[in-house]
Amino acid sequence: MAEFLQHLVNALVLGGTYALLGIGLTLIFGIMRIVNFTHGELFAFGAYFVYLFAMLLGFNFFIAFAIAVVGGCLLGAAIEFILLRPLRGADIETTMLVTIGAWIIMQNTELLVWGGVAKAITTPFPETPLVIGAISVSPLRVFVLVIALVLIGGTYALIHRTKLGMGMRATFQDSETAELMGLNIRGIYTATFSIGSGLAAAAGALLGPVFLAAPTMGDLASLKAFAIVILGGLGNITGATIGGFLLAIIEELGAGYISSGYRDAMGFLIIIAVLLVKPTGLFARAERIG
């Protein structure tokens, strides 16, 4: 039982960052109809930003984290502006090929700059774990979970409480009508891609110190984000949030009780199960964002 609870706690920490990844990707897909393969690289960039600023340039860890999130937003906006804006209206396949190209370029840039060896990131948190009964959890992981929850809450507030969020929801429902009503669709697309990328970078910046920053970490992140998005239904933020935690729980239990070698295969098994049972995602309602 204690072991089970320990797995659950680990899954909760992982799940928060998975949810961030999933929300970012589902926003971009839902609003812009772009299958975005740079998502995992933004995740990796987040981790490397923290490594660069906290470890190499000696910034405070928390400031480095904030820089990573803002840097992810800016990088996302740049990708949207340079590569995707000229292709607006192109079919899904075309934009996807462009994001695959960008992904290859980004990943190999990381390899070139940082080399293939994974980098460790140290944090100001004490190493000694907090022990509650039979469960132990490091302060860093508590921080990761709290920040992830704050960011998830912030994204919800942004979408439901702000004018930009209202514009995003309107664009999601019917971009043409929204544009006719005078919405600046281009601006909304850039903002969406930027926010989605920022969330991915935040997830990477949070998980980087927990594990390691490696150039190939983005591949699996992309794959998992896709699994989460399919699990929750394409374009469904609540679905992506629940999907993120669900994937983490399944992975953690699968690795703990079945085989750790197949940990990363769990996402695929989920995709299969969802497609067999309920292809529109587990939490699909009428097509609606929020």
Interacting residue ranges for other proteins, rule: CB under 8 A: 29, 35, 83, 86-87, 92-94, 96-98, 100-105, 107-109, 111-112, 219-220, 223, 226-227, 230, 234, 259, 261-262, 264-265, 267-268, 271-272, 275-276, 279-280
Residue placing its CB nearer to other proteins in the complex, 55 or 220 = 220
CB of residue 254 vs other proteins: minimum separation in angstroms? 12
Q: CA separation (Å) from 219 to 108, 216, 225, 253, 281?
A: 12, 6, 10, 22, 23
CB of residue 153 vs other proteins: minimum separation in angstroms? 28
CB of residue 166 vs other proteins: minimum separation in angstroms? 26
Residue placing its CB nearer to other proteins in the complex, 55 or 83 = 83
β strands within the chain, DSSP E = 130-132, 135-137
- What letter represents residue 242's amino acid? I
CB of residue 26 vs other proteins: minimum separation in angstroms? 12
Residue placing its CB nearer to other proteins in the complex, 31 or 206 = 31
CB of residue 7 vs other proteins: minimum separation in angstroms? 20
Which two tokens mark 274?
């969802």
For 244-265, b where at least 16 C-beta lie within 10 A, e where not — what string? bbbbbbbbbbbbbeeeeeebbe
SS3 label, residue 284: coil
Residue placing its CB nearer to other proteins in the complex, 60 or 94 = 94
- What letter represents residue 42's amino acid? L
- What letter represents residue 189's amino acid? Y
CB of residue 2 vs other proteins: minimum separation in angstroms? 28
Which two tokens mark 217?
């970490």
| Cβ atoms within 10 Å of 132's Cβ, excluding its own | 10
Residue placing its CB nearer to other proteins in the complex, 134 or 265 = 265
Q: Which of 88, 259, 264 is nearest to 188 (CA)?
A: 88
| Cβ atoms within 10 Å of 85's Cβ, excluding its own | 13
Residue placing its CB nearer to other proteins in the complex, 108 or 177 = 108
